Amino acid sequence: MLLKTVLLLALVAHVLVLENGLLRKPPMGWLAWERFRCNTNCDEDPKNCISERLFMEMADHLAQDGWRDLGYVYLNIDDCWIGGRDAKGNLVPDPKRFPNGIAFLADYAHSLGLKLGIYEDMGNFTCMGYPGTTLDKVVQDAQTFAAWKVDMLKLDGCFSTPKERAQGYPKMAAALNATGRPIAFSCSWPAYEGGLPPKVNYTLLAEICNLWRNYDDIQDSWSSVLSILDWFVDNQD
């Protein structure tokens, strides 16, 4: 019964999400957060820190170990990649950990038949305290991601108010679309509003997002996965 419920939820979400030609099927790939978190200590832990090296290595695994051929094509950067903003206000990656830049990683992923996803936050800071995307930076950041040839954006919701999120997520959806580059939009918005109506307007969400997060992050444990599945079972009505 649980499996049937999960499959039904997946099918319903697939039917209702934003129709921009992207993610006609549920996306599959690899995301850094659950395992590598915000490890930025590349001096002492170079193999496990959030860095260009890590994502190139994981891209190689996806391509060479058969995952890409099974449909696991997204290589997704999560929090802790940002170095700051330059003199013009553009986001820049940490120069030590990403010496060749994000566009280089996108090109590398594309050369292997993969797609690159990136992370930002609709707020003053990301969840781990790096520069976020405030309302006045939405268009600029969308253009930056497009220039880097990014294929997906996960937009988190830390350090923002409900009003800012209500303005920011639709604004980012429009800004991504205006770039002309196909960038799938993953919205964490519902998770910050309790995940349920009436606080979450799923009609609007389906118009602006390709996929979204309703509940807790997945932690590095099976119990975490089960708790998330249980939440969907308990709230499917």
pLDDT 10s digits, 207-225: 999 999 999 998 889 999 9
Domain 2-234: CATH superfamily, name plus number: Aldolase class I (3.20.20.70)
In 11-165, the DSSP E strands lie at 29-31, 74-76, 82-85, 91-93, 115-121, 152-156
**So where are the chain's domains?**
2-234
Percent of the chain with pLDDT over 70: 93
The residues assigned a catalytic role are 156, 217
User: Beta strands 152-156 and 184-187: pairing type?
Assistant: parallel
Q: Encode pLDDT of 157-194 as tens digits.
A: 999 999 999 999 999 999 999 999 999 999 999 999 99
pLDDT of 7 above 80: no
Neighbours of 14 (CB within 10 A): 13
What is the band of 14 on the pLDDT scale with cuts at 50, 70, 90?
Answer: very low
